[in-house]
Chain A
Amino acid sequence: MIIRLLFAHISMMIANTLSLDVAVLYEETFPAVASFVAKMGGSPDDAKDIFHDAMVVFFEKETDVENPCAYIVGIAKHLWVRKFKHDRNSVDLDENIQIIEEEPSPIVTRLLRLVEAAGRSCLELLQAFYYEKRSAESIADEFKYSNAHSATVQKHKCLQKIRSFVKTKSLDYESFVD
């Protein structure tokens, strides 16, 4: 019982830390992006949209950079130029930043809706592994598995479960699925 409570406490601490990190990064970086957008003639809503897009790109790319704030501002500048077809030469762009355009396909959006409706527990676990790229140990703590191995076993079961679900739901989309 005590161990369970301890795990719950640790897991809350981890969740708070992750949330705090994003919040701190937001508070430190958003004003710089807003300043850039304002100079380019954009609105506060444009600043929010570009900043959120830049944060998504940042978290999906390598987050292990020396200066995350400067890097996110750099991403935002690229996204601004791309979105508003702005003259590249009039913006100080960091050419080391490469952004790959990746729009979600309609089939993925539709399948996600179906998978979510069927239950989110596996999605939660899998996104912690694959999207947040967290360690099996921290995931085991948060999801209350006895150890990292159990979390990894559950990850494979969840992958299988969603694959099977997707297979049955994809029958209408045979042209998309092997």
Chain B
Amino acid sequence: MKASLTDLTHAIVKQYGRKKLRIKLEAIHNQLLSDPSFKQKILRLFQ
């Protein structure tokens, strides 16, 4: 499959944006789960 340079450039930017978003989500997750009450609220769902 052939892709133009413009398509490739936009795909790279999109993947970079996605990577940044995932890093941000991971950071928020760790921050929220560091709160014992939130962590307990989530873990209780799996008991």
A residues at B contact (CB < 8 Å): 19, 22-23, 26-27, 30-31, 34-35, 38, 43-44, 47-48, 52, 55-56, 59-60, 104-105, 107-109, 111-112, 115-116, 123, 126-127, 130-132, 159, 162-163, 166-167, 170, 175-178
Q: How far is the CB of B22 from chain A (nearest CB, A)?
A: 6
B residues at A contact (CB < 8 Å): 1-6, 8-22, 24-26, 28-29, 31-32, 38, 41-43, 45-46
Query: What residue in chain A is nearest B14 (Cβ atoms)?
Result: A131
Query: What residue in chain A is nearest B5 (Cβ atoms)?
Result: A163
In Å, the complex CA distance between A111 and B24 comes to 22
Query: What residue in chain A is nearest B20 (Cβ atoms)?
Result: A127
The reply to whether A166 and B9 contact each other, CB–CB distance below 8 Å, is yes
Q: How far is the CB of B23 from chain A (nearest CB, A)?
A: 11
A–B complex contacts, Cβ < 8 Å, 10 sampled: A31-B41, A44-B46, A47-B42, A56-B21, A108-B15, A112-B15, A162-B12, A162-B13, A166-B8, A176-B2
Q: How far is the CB of B14 from chain A (nearest CB, A)?
A: 6
